[in-house]
Structure 1
Amino acid sequence: MKQSISYMCRGTLFMLLYVFLMPFFLINVQAGTVLEPPQATVSGTVTDTSGNPLAGVNLVVESKNIGTISDFDGSFSINAGPTDVIIFSMVGFKSLTVPIAGREEVIVQLEEDVTVLKEVVLNAGYYTVSEREHTGNIEKVTAVDIEKQPISNPLVALQGRMAGVEVQQTSGLPGAKFNIKIRGRNSIRSDANEPLYIVDGVPYSSTSLGEGQASLALSSGAISPLNNINPMDIESIEVLKDADATAIYGSRGANGVVLITTKRGKTGETRVEINLLTGMGKVSRTLDLMGTSDYLAMRREAFANDGVENYPANAHDINGNWDQGRETDWQKLFFGRTSYLTNAQVSVSGGDVRTRFLVSGNYHGQTSVFPGDHKNDKVTFSANIGHKGMDDRLSLQLSTSFTTNRNNLPGDGLLVQQAYFVPPNGPEPYTEDGSLNWENSTWTNPLVGFERKYESNASTLIGNLTLGYELTKDLTLKTNLGYTENHLREINTNPHTRYDPVYGAGPENSSVLHNQGKRTSWILEPQLDYKVVFGDVTLGALVGATFQEQKGDRLSQYGFGFTSNKLIENLSAASRLSLLADEEQQYRYQALYGRVNLGLMDRYFLNLTGRRDGSSRFGPNKRFGNFGAIGAAWLFSEEGIVQKVPYLSFGKIRASYGTSGSDQIGDYQYLDTYSMGSDQYQGVLGIYPTRLFNPDYNWEENRKWELSMDLGWFHDRVFISGSYYNNRSSNQLVGIPLPATTGFSSINGNLEATVENRGWELELSTVNARSERFQWTSSFNLTLPKNLLVSFPNLEESTYANQLVVGESLNSVKLYQWNGVDTETGLHTFEDFNGDGTISSLNDRSIIKNLDPKFYGGLSNHVSLGRFELDCLFQFTKQSGLNFLSRAAPPGVMANQPKVVLQRWQQVGDVTDFQRFSSGTPDTYRAFQLYQQSTAVATDASFIRLQNISVSYQLASRPTEGFSCDLFLRGQNLFTWTNYLGTDPEARNPLAVPSLRMLSIGTRLNF
């Protein structure tokens, strides 16, 4: 009965799918086609050589359109005739062809194939290639690793797992932005180094629609649009790095390409999978700040050093106005709460060899560590349908996803800073009635930021349809159609209750910021794919075109003055309005591209790629550009003489060279533009010119070359890959200085400045142990990058004169040379390089400190023992950074300090790293200002982090009933080992919320 109901449900579902896809079916119906009915039912089991059942093995009846997969216990049944042949295949095992020979039961054992590079398929965007044959540099992370991390942003899954890919978390708050650099920073402009994101063949913009003034709590100034992609829906993430892999994307691939592929349905019985996860997290690190006793002692010593005996009236912390016995841990109060995480996903999948489907729904909710009801809620619905025609000529793949995201994290960038600076004996923040405590107007209550209300509501729709039709055996016509739509609405209120009532602030002083934006994009990409084999020669050719359009609009308004705070969210109730932004943008892009791949004797491979791009973002004289690459690989382990090398199972040398470009400059940057002024003439608001027209404004160009070697030993149980890369970015888009007589300081244009990124990448994977019940594998990656500004004509005359130095990294800073604390005066001292007796920025701020990582990487391990599985990932970085003192207040003023400053100068002859305490005299203040821009605050920010750990146990498995249950425990950002003076060495930003340490528990049910 239960089985009958299951068949009825499947039949109904397939009927609906068939009706939906009927137009496509009609294309493929051949008149007079008669399907030969099956002659018998063949059943059996599939196991490995140790007798363990294998689930998910693909079975196909050769020369017929019949197929299935093995069940949880390895069993299968398939319709086949007595003379038919069944092909068994599964990733990680050698394929096996088995004749039926009249049997009704077939018992099959598959032999494990340690060398599975032929089976591992890499997605290169416009084409796929096996890892064995690829000529470009492509990194891949699969759902197996992504699902083991309790994350909301898919970029987190890349941390520590890929050589040459640096992912930096900017804040511990849910929804915050992640910075990603693929093989370094190519552009002088800091906002032009994002890679190209492709989701199921559709370009996805990583630029936020948010208003920076509205969401400053996220440190980065906006919520990341990538937060609207559900990691649980992702099948794989591929990162394209070298010229051979990125050149086919032309002007969009200079900074690398991130390809996100969502999950597809699988053939077999209709399956339901439920994933439930709940967890909690707290900030991983806090600063070791002074308690009340140390703080008050510092303040008293500061006034004593300044010769002040009677404390001033505004020194409320020590003059008796505040309770000197009170002590508050402000860090705990501001961001010491527990963040709670809930994630629930349900998916239904199934199908046959012709039609496969997957439908899923997901809820992801996470509260913040701030006081109050702040959280990030995300709901995602996705669907995927794949179909092949009866004669395998027509193929169709439809994928859609829709996400809504609500985030009400407080929009005040000073919140975190207050937690470090407020004196520990500060007053109670709230009165008994719950209102803000102003303590007789003796302070600005640090919790005023929580009086503001911030809320964002975002939605994202991504749709993609890929149609393919086999014109001949060797020629296939494909068309990719994609559409994305993003919406965002933000509101940030600023009620008058943020101000001390003694100053008479009322609702007329309240204000509100409204921001709303929309972005739509469509893409159409027809292509022809040709593949043919001539003996030992394999030829593949691909030609295609791209037509893309993106439109966006954003309206941001500021309302001020209300009769009541109850009306504060209503702009029409404001007494006056101010327009912050009213933007409409349109971007059009067209391209022709082609690829030719040649394989000889299954060991020599050549790949030629070319693309011609046209972009509306450039001047009329430079709208089009040409890009191309060549990649080659030699599988030398297939040579007869090399095959005699002991223990060597695989060897390949790869090389590539080519060009790609970057059009990440925003729209209309080449045009004359005007802005509204503040002055009026005869009651009319005037406008003034802000940008000059440049018809030759065009893309930056990136030339890349790479040399790599892959080696496999002991049947690939030890696999090593090493690469050397060199990227040079020229034709940099910067502001070119103009004479003052023109009325403009600069014009947007291309400058022959050159930036170089070079480095080494090493990857090692090992199978440490493997038996019937126990397996242990490891993976290690290491990157040694080098960034360099090779040339910059007339740098001294440009706006970058104080930021950049030829011959140094773009991520370098200019600092004063700190010479220690004067043993006589107790003040910081600095090197006077020109000997004029004055420390000045122009002449003496000349020490260059490189803040790029010297090396970074990760180490992961996977251990399975029976029903137990253990995964752990360590991430490490060797780098320098500016520590907390670069943003701190001078020690001795009315602000808390790290305990480390207690090792200060106290008397003549003291040798120490910290100057004397002072309440703020001009000489001590000036010395501390220079100190914050000196080599003293550029310290080691290296760290090793236990990024992720996952323990799972298969609680129940009943293959005959198609049921399984797994329990798992997961941890994220568990431990960090570092000497960095600050909360998070990864972000290196004292104003950011520290990253969270998350622990979660959950279950996965399959039935």
Structure 2
Amino acid sequence: MKIISLNKGWLALYYPIIFGFYLCCLPVMARTPLPKSIIQQYTITGTVRDGQGVLPSVTISVAGKSTATITDYQGKYSITATAADILVFSFVGYTTLNIPIAGRTVVSVHLQEDATQLQEVKINAGYYSVKESERTGSIGRITAKNIEKQPVTNVLATMQGRIAGVSIVQDSGSPGGAFSIKIRGTNSLRADGNQPLYIIDGVPYSSETIGSIATSGTAPTLTSPLNSINPQDIESIEVLKDADATAIYGSRGANGVVLITTKKGKAGETRFSINSSSSFGTVGETPKLMNTKQYLAMRQLAFDNDGVSTYPSYAYDVNGTWSPERNTDWQKKLIGGTAKIHNLQASVSGGSRRTQYLLSGNYRTETTVFPGDFKYTKGSAHFSMNHTSEDERFKLTLSGNYTSQNNSQPAIDLTAVSRTLAPNAPELYDENGNLNWENGTWNNPLAGLDSEFESRINDLVANTVFSYRFLPNLEFKTSFGFTDLHNNESRTQPSTMYNPSYGLGSEFSALSSNFTNRNSWIVEPQLNYNTTIRKGKFAVLLGSTLQNQRTERLFQNGFGFASNRLIHDLASASIKTVDLSDVTIYKYQALFARLNYNWDTRYILNITGRRDGSSRFGPGKQFATFGAVGGAWLFSNEAFLKDNTVLSFGKLRSSYGITGNDQIGDYQFLDTYVSSGNNYQGTIGLQPVRLFNPEFGWESNKKFEVALETGFLEDRIFLTSAYYLNRSSNQLVGIPLPGTTGYSSLYANLDATVENSGLEFTLRTINFSREHFEWTTNFNISINRNKLISFPGLESSTYANTYVVGQPINIMKLYHYIAMNPTTGIYQFEDVNGDGTISSIADRHTLANLSPRYFGGLENQFQYKGVQLNFLFQFVKQEAFGALPGVPGTGVNQLASVSDSAAQQPYTAGSNGAIINAYYRYGLSDGAVQDASYIRLKNISLTYDLPFKVGDRLRCQLYWQGQNLLTFTNYTNGDPEFKFGGYLPPLKVNAVGVKLTF
């Protein structure tokens, strides 16, 4: 409320008039009291909504008075006012409304999103938060509104197609399958050196795989711990990309940072929420294969080409042993099932203005599309509490997430065999319901399901944050984080998975087990200082990090069991081996600082620095300094643009900095020994596996970015354009050594430099916004170019056949396919060196870049009264190898297109070596590379708010959600996202559910 100060001279001039008016009107005023209806206080109630439903935490105040309140979780409020008062409804990101009470006791409103106000939303930047309009770094963000509309179980799946510069690919459609992520390309020559840093509520969360090759399940990757994070508990995900945003994390942020913030309680009445859904998943894109008629015609022609007139006894598919009348779609039989997914989420929350709490639980079960009784179950609990003292100096935050997973799956993926098995192969079961081996003429694929993968993971992430404000502009804060992960997984190979004709008993059964325990603690004290000098605002952050991580691993094998019923009991194995038994400790410490200066909300400078220390390097190399500087110019706040009606927001920002990388594993620089397992004169000896390298040091990643952010027509159209250039040098790789040294490689720094450059565009438009109808669109596209800038001595190194200077690091060297020989019909390839012989080293000079050329997503959101419709299209431009199941004419099925023999080299049943060699060369040539670009309806969500209410507080929502529903592509080898070929692709999922809030 403004207080108007009257000038004494002015008062002296008008004092007689005021006094006279007062004397004349006083009798009348005394005889005419104000109506009771105007001065009497009433309790005004109502509900505040937006396009998504009820809106909690909206501030409602009485204009001109100090009376104010906020809405609860149901969007309801209660406030005392008179009939003549005006209520003011305000919330960040929404247009403020001034509503006269006009004698009513119930005033409900609908707030409209204000695109201009969205720039005032504070986003999480890790150790600090910053207004969207004032950030100098590159930060992508999605919120619970995006996450809750997706029927997924992995946190990375929620970001696919939604954040520019972030490429995410699903590694397997099996339950619990992992995802791969790259933020602005591939920086390191090591495949495991490109992972970002994950932070959950301020606690670093290790994404290092926790499995082993021997015990991994049906996925092509090892077990990922990221499945422990429940997407339904996440409030927001921020992805830090450039140096300005990531440098404060030092070496840990070299490949980007993924900040995960879980949900917190809010002030208001106690609120209960129950969300239950059932989903159904099926395999989406599958290649079209030959039917029996096409297949047998191919096989018969192959034997004719080989000059074989009498089919051999082992050719059961064509010699009459198997019925030529059978025609089985093995893809439908083996991977054509329906995965049933059930998810239940419940929560209770509430609290006072000083203390808020949230407790939630989740239980999820998921079966698989493979035949058999396999199930993945996951249960989780999440707790959060916030408290603020009466004087608002002391603040306390507690958060904890506990997850328990139990995954029982087949250890063998049937996808590959479903695409290669002859369509006239025998029935799976005999007339007695037993597995059919057709007198030993085939290997029944269902027998492989007896090989089981079991994984039990228990994971805890907890954090406590204390803060105390000593002075109005000086605050001390410290966080204490703890993680504890226990993984127990095994893989069995019972003798029953083999053809009985082999005569293998339980003495050939095997068990592989892996126990991994990983726990860590972290302490991060911080000091924040803020001050204002005239038009300038200073913010200083000083902090320290102390982190310790301990990992215990035990990999064991057992062979030969008295009975397959004892296969899970390692003690019952006749032969036992220990592949690995170790304990590693990783210690990390750092000092970091940030200085931010904001002059008149026009010129912003952000400087960050970090001194890192890592136990993964040798003496003299353990410490390094990293830092960055970022600047922004909010030119829309300049005087010459103040009255501009078209440009509502304009910001030019840029950053440059250096980060490091220590993602190399523990003790890589030391002389390392393991037990040989060999007994010599009663003693088990040791064998060396690593050489000492005192020069082993940090990778260095230099990052530059410049970006332009513009908003038009009150930010109804908002465009962000960014260009980045990153160079990673001093690469940490294993240098191969001759076998005579006794070592396979020496870990060292290579003087090689990898460059990633690219463009990112993000566009947000508010197409229509009215009280009952809203339509918004979000679009992003990313273009990345990867290049090996330098590699001294590459030609003479063992990497000469892997990398080429000036080309991407994930290229493949291929033969150049010319055409089919017009005389023989056999594939021909370019003889690069002209020696008359095609060799794998000298003639593989054609380069294929299989990285995406560009990728992105297009999302539309519609809302009409109680109905919400959201859908996201994901698109990728890329190339990949086509289907190469085996030589056409041999006993493996082929794509239906291969039945056109004129387009293929001659079929062979296996005796024509020239054709076979040409086929495999073709698989390593540019002729096998095809367009694998696609546009996919990645996600769709339809939600309906029931218009009726049961009681005063119950809200009921019905919804349908879909994932991977439609794919438009020319790729012939199944799913274009998933190019491994032999593993289960991502599933097409439909989910229906109900959410109750009361």
Shift in Å, 1:501:
2.6
Q: 1:977 to 1:107 in 2, by over 3 A?
A: closer
**Paired residues of 1:918 and 1:924 also in contact (CA < 8 A):** no
Alpha carbons 1:46, 1:110 under 8 Å: kept: no
Match of 2:344 in 1: 344
Looking at structure 1, the residues matched to 66 and 528 of structure 2 have their Cα atoms a distance apart, in angstroms, of 23
The alignment status of 1:857 with 2:848, answered yes or no, reads no
| Percent identity between the two aligned chains | 48
- CA, structure 1 residues 382+716, in 2 after alignment: closer, same or farther (shift >3 Å)? same
1:94 and 1:772 map into 2 onto residues whose CA distance is 12
Other-structure match for 2:128:
127
* Alignment match, 1:579: 578
1:160 aligns with 2:157: no
Which stretch shifts more, 718-727 or 746-755?
746-755
Aligned twin of 1:892: 889
Q: Secondary structure at the match of 1:218?
A: coil
Residues 681/111 of structure 1: CA separation in 2 closer, same or farther (3 Å cut): closer
| Greater Cα offset, 513-522 or 66-75 | 66-75
1:688 paired to 2:679: no
Task: Give 1:940-951 correspondences, 5 Å limit.
Answer: 940-951=931-942
The CA distance in 2 between the partners of 1:233 and 1:72, in whole Å, is: 16
Distance 1:112 1:618 in 2: 51
Instruction: Please tell me the residue identity of whatever aligns with 1:691.
Output: R
Candidates 899, 902, 924, aligned match of 1:933? 924
Please give the alpha-carbon distance, in whole angstroms, between the structure 1 residues aligned to 2:868 and 2:112.
Answer: 23
Compared CA separation, residues 122 and 312, structure 1 to 2 (3 A): same
Which stretch has the larger CA shift, 475-484 or 951-960? 951-960
1:69 equivalent in alignment to 2:70? yes
The answer to whether residue 193 in structure 2 is matched with residue 202 in structure 1 is: no
Identify the residue that residue 141 of structure 2 maps to in structure 1.
140
Cα distance in 2 for residues equivalent to 1:972 and 1:111: 29
Is the contact between residue 150 and residue 972 of structure 1 (CA under 8 Å) also seen in structure 2? yes
Aligned pair count reads 956
Q: Distance in 2 between matches of 1:341 and 1:72?
A: 29
Q: Name the Cα RMSD after superposition.
A: 2.8
Deviation at 1:803, TM superposition (A): 1.5
Q: How far apart are the structure 1 equivalents of 2:796 and 2:375? A: 48
CA offsets, 1:383-439, max 9 Å, x none?
A: 1101100110011111111111111111125x3211111111112223334433222
Alignment partner, residue 376 of structure 1: 376
8 Å contact 2:828–2:918 — kept in the other structure?
yes
Q: Could you tell me which amino acid in structure 2 is paired with residue 895 of structure 1? A: V
Aligned to 2:14: none
Match of 1:19 in 2: none
Question: 1:616 & 1:874 partners in 2: Cα distance?
Answer: 44
Partners of 1:855 and 1:703 lie apart in 2 by 23
Q: 1:49 and 1:867 mapped to 2: Cα distance?
A: 10
Where do residues 828-839 of structure 1 align in structure 2 (5 Å cutoff)?
828-839=827-838
Distance 1:822 1:273 in 2: 69
Secondary structure in 1 matching 2:415: helix
Partner of 2:812: 813
Alpha carbons 2:410, 2:451 under 8 Å: kept: yes
Distance 1:486 1:624 in 2: 28
The question of whether the paired residues in 1 share the 8 Å contact of 2:470 and 2:476 is answered with: yes
- Counterpart for residue 293 of structure 1: 293
2:989 aligns with 998
CA distance in 2, matches of 1:755, 1:777: 39
Amino acid at match of 1:145: N
- In the alignment, what sits opposite 2:715? 716
Q: Compute the displacement of 1:581 (Å).
A: 1.8
Partner residue in 2 for 1:436: 435
Written as runs of structure 1 = structure 2, the 5 A alignment for 1:638-653 is 638-653=637-652
**2:264 aligns to what?**
264
Shift of 1:533: 1.7
Q: In 2, distance between residues paired with 1:881 and 1:832?
A: 24
Counterpart CA distance in 2 for 1:133 and 1:326 is 68
Aligned partner letter, 1:316: Y
CA distance in 1, matches of 2:49, 2:774: 15
Judged with a 3 Å threshold, the aligned counterparts in structure 2 of structure 1 residues 540 and 94 are, in CA distance, closer, same or farther, namely: farther
Q: Measured at CA, do residues 559 and 169 of structure 1 come closer, stay the same or move farther in structure 2, by a change above 3 Å? A: same
Please report how far the alpha carbon of residue 670 of structure 1 lies from its aligned counterpart in structure 2 after TM superposition.
0.5
Query: Within 1, Cα distance between the matches of 2:913 and 2:73?
Result: 77
Match of 1:983, SS state, is coil
Structure 2 residue 977 is matched with structure 1 residue 986? yes
Q: How many angstroms does 1:677 deviate by?
A: 3.7
Q: Deviations over 1:481-512 (max 9, x none)?
A: 11111111112221111223333321222221
| Matched position secondary structure for 1:936 | helix
- CA drift of 1:913 comes to 4.9
Q: Distance in 2 between matches of 1:110 and 1:744?
A: 68
Change in 2 beyond 3 A, CA 1:333/1:107? closer
Provide closer, same or farther for how the CA distance between residues 582 and 539 of structure 1 changes in structure 2, counting only shifts above 3 A.
Answer: same
Deviation at 1:957, TM superposition (A): 5.1
Distance between the aligned counterparts of 2:667 and 2:74, measured in 1?
61
Cα separation, partners in 2 of 1:602 and 1:433, compared to 1, 3 Å: same
In structure 2, list runs of 5 or more residues that go unmatched: 1-39
CA distance in 2, matches of 1:66, 1:296: 85
> Aligned pair in 2 of structure 1 residues 318, 548: CA closer, same or farther (>3 Å)?
same
Give how far 1:742 is off.
5.0
Equivalent residues of 1:152, 1:174 under 8 A apart? no
Matched position secondary structure for 2:417: helix
Other-structure match for 1:447: 446
The 3-state SS of whatever aligns with 1:213 is helix
Distance 2:505 2:599 in 1: 80
Q: Secondary structure at the residue paired with 1:117? A: helix
Deviates more, 1:797-806 or 1:889-898: 797-806
Amino acid at match of 1:865: Y
Matches of 1:114 and 1:419, distance apart in 2:
51
TM-score by length of 2: 0.92
In structure 2, distance between residues paired with 1:644 and 1:292 = 74
Q: Which residue of 2 aligns with 1:908?
A: none
CA contact (8 A) 1:821 1:829 kept: yes
**In the superposition, relative to structure 1, how do residues 47 and 416 fare at CA in structure 2: closer, same or farther (>3 Å)?**
closer
**CA distance in structure 1 between the aligned counterparts of 2:690 and 2:66, rounded to whole angstroms:** 64
Q: Trace 1:522-601 onto structure 2 (pairs within 5 A).
A: 522-601=521-600
Query: Is the contact between residue 305 and residue 908 of structure 2 (CA under 8 Å) also seen in structure 1?
Result: yes
Q: Is the 8 A contact 1:893 1:920 kept in 2?
A: no
For 1:26-45, list aligned pairs within 5 A.
43=44
Change (3 A) 1:92 1:748: same
For residues 577 and 532 of structure 2, what CA distance do their matches in structure 1 show?
Answer: 67
Q: How does 1:408-557 map to 2 (within 5 A)?
A: 408-413=408-413, 415-557=414-556
CA contact (8 A) 1:277 1:342 kept: yes
In structure 2, the partner of 1:228 is 228
> Any residues of structure 2 matched to 1:246-395 within 5 Å, and which?
246-395=246-395
Q: Which residue of 1 aligns with 2:959?
A: 968
Residue identity opposite 2:200 in structure 1: V
C-alpha separation in 1, matches of 2:446 and 2:192 = 32
Partner of 1:924: 915
Of structures 1 and 2, the larger Rg is shown by 2
Distance in 2 separating the partners of 1:259 and 1:775: 30
The answer to whether 1:754 aligns with 2:782 is no
- Relative to structure 1, the CA distance from residue 75 to residue 459 in structure 2 (aligned partners, 3 Å threshold; closer, same or farther) is closer
How big is the shift at 1:117?
Answer: 3.5
Moved more, 598-607 or 64-73: 64-73
8 Å contact from structure 1 (residues 765, 779) kept in 2? yes
> Cα deviation per residue 1:311-354 (whole Å; 9 max; x = unaligned)?
11211111122222222221112111001111111111111210
Rounded Cα–Cα distance in structure 2 between residues aligned with 1:62 and 1:693: 73
The equivalent residue for 2:762 is 763
Quote the offset at 1:919 in angstroms: 3.3
Contact kept, 8 Å, 1:957 with 1:963, in 2: the verdict is no
- Most deviating of 54-63 and 354-363: 54-63
> 2-side partners of 1:689 and 1:849: how far apart?
38
Q: Distance in 2 between matches of 1:959 and 1:449?
A: 53
AA in 2 matched with 1:325: E
Match of 1:183 in 2: 184
Cα shift at 1:211: 2.1
Which residue in the other structure is 1:237 paired with? 237
> How far apart are residue 624 of structure 1 and its match?
0.3
Cα distance, 1:65–1:445 mapped onto 2, change above 3 Å: farther
Post-superposition offset of 1:42: 6.0
Q: CA deviation at 1:72?
A: 7.8
Once the two structures are TM-superposed, the CA of residue 691 in structure 1 deviates from its matched residue by 1.3
Q: Distance in 1 between matches of 2:512 and 2:739?
A: 37
Contact 1:724/1:758 (<8 A) preserved: yes
* Paired letter, 1:360: S
